[in-house]
Amino acid sequence: MALLTRAITVEARTCAVVYRHGVRTGVLAAGRHRRPAGSTVVPVDLRERLLAVAPQDVPTADGASVRVTAAVRWSVTDPVAFVEVADDPEAVVYLATQVALREALAAVETDRLARRGSLPLDEVVAAVRTAAVAVGVSVQDVVLKDVLLPPEIRGAATALIVARQRGAALLEEARAETAALRSLANGARLLDAHPALAQLRLVQAVPPGTRLVLAVGTEAARLVEPGTASDDD
């Protein structure tokens, strides 16, 4: 007598592991299938997922303790292992990420942690992938979201940044002042070499209506304000 069957639909980007009497009978891809009566179907989502790792305090190589948070991009590539190997495969990936972060960052000094581009994340990704593949999971990436330094170190880093900016501002001010003094010195040498330029500058600087009186036989000059009499009047 043939076993009764009924239809089952496996959604897109998922698959289904089928068991009958406790024995795995196959893995169904997306689509519509016939399922024998008495069988059990375990759906598995194959889409990429994000696993957020809670903040954890990690000791550094120089004895400080920093708080880091991370996120893992992962997806299921072996649905059978994902269903059968571990009761909670996601917890396996989570723990592997925590341990890998602690081992990798424990060899890094605190000041290097402030420069995320120099963090040994390749080692973290490799370690997490090794643990994840056993439970049917492929890890695409491990992203370090936040690195929270101790308050004392954050204060020192802020003071260092302020000192650098203040020094840069003072240096720029000194450069501007030096350039101005150099320009004045060049102007003074030019006036000493050409006295006529000094008189020209004096003429240009007098207010409108002021008469300029030159002393006879000399290059001296004096100003006569409007409305006043000169010695020659």
Q: Residues 102-131: what's their mean pLDDT?
A: 80
Q: Are residues 100 and 26 in the same domain?
A: no
pTM (2 d.p.): 0.63
Quickly count: other Cβ atoms within 10 Å of residue 137's Cβ. 27
Mean pLDDT (the chain) is 80
Check: CB of residue 72 under 8 Å from CB of residue 82. no
Check: CB of residue 94 under 8 Å from CB of residue 137. no
- Note whether residue 179 is domain-resident: no
For 125-176, what is each residue's pLDDT tens digit? 999 999 999 999 999 999 988 877 766 666 666 676 677 788 888 888 888 8
Phi-psi region of 22 (alpha: psi -120 to 50; beta: other; left: phi over 0): left
Residue where a domain terminates, one of 122, 150, 178: 150
Q: Are residues 24 and 71 in the same domain?
A: no
Those residues with Cβ within 8 angstroms of residue 13's Cβ, 6 or more apart along the chain or in another chain: 30, 45, 46, 47
- Note whether residue 25 is domain-resident: yes
What is the spatial distance between Cα 180 and Cα 202, in angstroms, rounded to a whole number? 21
Q: Are residues 136 and 109 in the same domain?
A: yes
- For 105, phi then psi, to 5°, come to -80, -15
Find, among 104, 125, 116, 95, the residue nearest to 60 by Cα. Answer: 104
- Note whether residue 34 is domain-resident: yes
Q: Are residues 135 and 57 in the same domain?
A: yes
- Note whether residue 74 is domain-resident: yes
Q: Are residues 87 and 62 in the same domain?
A: yes
pLDDT for 217: 44
Q: Are residues 92 and 136 in the same domain?
A: yes
188 pLDDT band, cuts 50/70/90, is confident
Q: How many domains does the chain have?
A: 3
Q: Are residues 29 and 91 in the same domain?
A: no
Find, among 176, 4, 143, 121, the residue nearest to 74 by Cα. Answer: 143
Q: Residues 100-121: what's their mean pLDDT?
A: 75
For 37-64, what is each residue's pLDDT tens digit? 888 899 999 999 999 999 888 888 877 7
Q: Are residues 24 and 63 in the same domain?
A: no
- Note whether residue 14 is domain-resident: yes
Q: Are residues 97 and 33 in the same domain?
A: no
Q: Are residues 205 and 132 in the same domain?
A: no
- Note whether residue 157 is domain-resident: no
CA angle 71, 75, 77 (to 5 degrees): 150
DSSP for 212-226, please give it.
Answer: EEEPTTSS-EEEE-T
The residue range of the domain holding 212 is 194-224
Collapsed DSSP state (helix, strand, coil) of residue 229: coil
Is pLDDT of 192 > 80? Answer: no
Q: Are residues 27 and 82 in the same domain?
A: no
pLDDT for 36: 78
